[in-house]
Each structure stands twice: as structure tokens, then as C-alpha cells.
């Protein structure tokens, strides 16, 4: 199963990705996670990407597409993959067409998590993350079951992403909203777009996604 999970910042891509990759046993390829790891390791690519991410801008298409090409060339994607946060521009979508065709790993489905933009600021500003394992929580919608303790790894330290600060969030949303409609139209025209209502609870969004993806496993 070769998939894209798309949606505006805060739509719930990372949250849903965890369930999907566990259920279907495919690797999760998040360009945002790849950039954050490179920033942490202070690689040349990370240093370059940080300049854009800190402002809420998109990292240039050639850099991002190159990363995805390398990652999709790895053997663990032969049985399927789930891209999260890529493509984000029409140029990236066209690059991906070329990459998947060269590698003979064509897309089966694009899941678009559709959320009212007004709620996204609240989603992003309330998000906090486990420092040890990266599990994502929300001050209102997804608190750890035991106070100050990560459900997944038992860690006690949490942080807020630097690009979730209010001054960056506004630009991130503006930039991504502008790019979103042409991308949706691109995949609609290929008849592989499935849109789910991301305004529901986390569990209900998961159920809707599973309903769609289970069709591809028979
Ligand atoms: P990236 O890391 O991909 O960030 P993003 O797209 O902005 O998405 P987020 O990770 O912020 O949100 P999400 O949809 O995963 O939401 P989450 O599940 O955490 O990219 C970061 C940056 O890297 C970009 O800004 C850009 O600079 C660069 N970049 C990455 N890819 C690029 C590309 N292809 N091209 C160029 N540049 C690129 O949920 C958010 C919160 O809401 C959480 O707290 C969660 O608990 C909560 N929540 C989730 N679902 C629900 C629900 N249904 N109800 C209530 N709360 C919910």
C-alpha cells in the first residue's frame, strides 16, 4: 500500500500516521521529522532547512524532493510506504510522479485530512511532545493518561515545537493554505484522493481512514 497522508499543519497527520503504520506495517516517511532530526544533528541539510522552518516557510522543492527520492529508494518501502507532509507543492507532486514511476512504486491512495482552518491554531498551540520518544499530546484533546508521564515510554519531559509559537504558526498556515487547493485538485484528477473529516475526535478520524484503507488490503 503506497500512500500519502495530507492535510494542513495541525490537521492530525502525525497523530493518525502512528495508527496507520502500526496497522498496515508500512514505514512512515515524514519530511518534517526528517528535517527535525537533521536540525538536531546539525547536518548541512539541517542547518539549511532550519532557516525556512523557523519562519514557517517551506523548504525548497529540490531539497525536499531529493530527500524523498533517497528514502523511497530504500528496500523497506518495497512493501509499501506512507508519506506524511509530502508533497506540499505542485512541483513536489510532479517530482513525486517521476520518482514513483522510476522506482515502480506508484501511489494507491492520497488521504486528505480536512479540518476547518479556524481550529488549527488551537491544535498547534496546545500541542506538546515527549522529549524521549516523540509521542504527541494536546493540552485539551489528548493528555497523557498519568499526569506528566508519557503513555508510550513513561518519559517525564515534554517540549513545544519551535514552529508552534504563535508568530510562526500564522505564516505556516498561510503558506500551506495557498498550496493546498491545487494539490487536492491534482490528486482528484487522478482519482486517488479520499477526504476524511478531520474535525471529529481522533478515534473517529482513525476509523474513517481505516475504512478507506482496508479496501486496499483485500
Ligand atoms: P511538519 O512536521 O510536516 O509539520 P506540519 O505539516 O506543519 O504538520 P504538523 O506536524 O504541525 O501537524 P500534524 O498534521 O502532524 O498534526 P498533529 O497530528 O501533530 O513540517 C514542519 C516544517 O517542515 C514545515 O513547516 C516546513 O517548513 C518543513 N517541511 C516539511 N515538509 C515539507 C515539504 N514537503 N516541503 C517543504 N517544506 C516542508 O496534531 C496537532 C495537534 O492536534 C496535536 O496536539 C494532536 O494531539 C491534536 N489533534 C490531532 N488530531 C486531533 C483531533 N481529531 N481532534 C483534536 N485534537 C487533535
Q: What is the pLDDT of residue 49?
A: 96
**Spatial contact of 82 and 5, defined as CB atoms under 8 Å apart:** yes
User: Can you say how many angstroms the Cα of residue 192 is from the centroid of all Cα atoms in its chain?
Assistant: 18
Q: What is the CATH number of domain 2-115+177-214?
A: 3.40.50.300
pLDDT at residue 118, as a whole number: 86
Nearest-5° angle of CA 132, CA 163, CA 172?
A: 140
CA distances from 23 to 55, 76, 205, 215 (A): 35, 16, 15, 14
Which of 50, 71, 88, 123 is labelled catalytic?
Answer: 88
Q: What is the pLDDT of residue 2?
A: 97
Stretches where the chain sits below pLDDT 70 are 218
Choosing from 50, 71, 123, 127, which is the catalytic residue?
127
Helix (H, G, I), strand (E, B) or coil at 198: coil
Tell whether 172 is in a known binding site.
yes
Asked if the interface predicted TM-score (ipTM) of this complex is over 0.90, the answer is: yes
127 is catalytic: yes
pLDDT for the residue numbered 208: 98
pLDDT number for residue 123: 94
List C-alpha distances in Å: 11 to 33, 47, 75. Answer: 16, 27, 29
Locate the ligand 1 atom nearest the alpha carbon of residue 7 and give its number: 14
For residue 185, the model assigns a pLDDT of: 97
Q: Does residue 23 have an active-site annotation?
A: no
Q: Residue 156 has what pLDDT?
A: 97
Is-contact 194 212, C-beta < 8 A?
yes
Nearest CA to ligand 1 atom 49: 12
Provide the pLDDT for residue 174: 93
Contacts of 183 (CB under 8 A, 6+ apart): 6, 87, 88, 89, 90, 93
Q: What is the pLDDT of residues 42-63, one digit of tens each?
A: 999 999 999 999 999 999 999 9
pLDDT of residue 186: 97
- Map out the domains of the chain as residue ranges: 2-115+177-214
Amino acid at each position: 500500500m503506497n500512500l500519502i497522508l495530507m492535510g494542513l499543519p495541525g490537521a492530525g497527520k502525525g497523530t493518525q500516521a502512528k495508527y496507520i503504520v502500526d496497522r498496515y506495517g508500512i514505514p512512515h516517511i515524514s519530511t518534517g521529522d526528517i528535517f527535525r532530526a537533521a536540525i538536531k544533528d546539525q547536518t548541512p541539510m539541517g542547518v539549511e532547512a532550519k532557516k525556512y522552518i523557523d519562519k514557517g516557510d517551506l523548504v525548497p522543492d529540490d531539497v525536499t524532493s531529493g530527500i524523498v527520492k533517497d528514502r523511497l529508494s530504500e528496500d523497506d518501502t518495497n512493501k509499501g510506504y506512507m508519506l506524511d507532509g509530502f508533497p506540499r507543492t505542485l512541483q513536489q507532486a510532479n517530482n513525486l510522479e517521476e520518482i514513483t514511476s522510476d522506482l515502480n512504486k506508484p501511489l494507491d491512495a492520497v488521504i486528505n485530512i480536512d479540518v476547518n482552518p479556524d481550529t488549527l491554531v488551537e491544535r498547534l498551540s496546545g500541542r506538546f511532545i515527549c522529549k524521549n520518544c516523540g509521542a504527541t499530546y494536546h493540552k485539551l484533546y489528548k493528555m497523557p493518561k498519568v499526569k506528566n508521564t508519557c503513555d508510550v515510554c513513561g518519559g517525564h519531559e515534554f517540549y513545544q515545537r519551535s514552529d508552534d509559537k504563535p508568530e510562526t504558526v500564522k505564516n505556516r498556515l498561510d503558506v500551506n493554505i495557498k498550496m493546498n487547493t491545487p494539490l487536492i485538485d491534482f490528486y482528484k484528477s487522478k482519482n486517488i484522493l479520499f477526504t476524511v473529516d478531520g474535525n471529529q475526535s481522533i478515534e473517529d478520524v482513525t476509523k474513517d481512514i481505516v475504512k478507506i484503507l482496508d479496501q486496499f488490503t483485500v
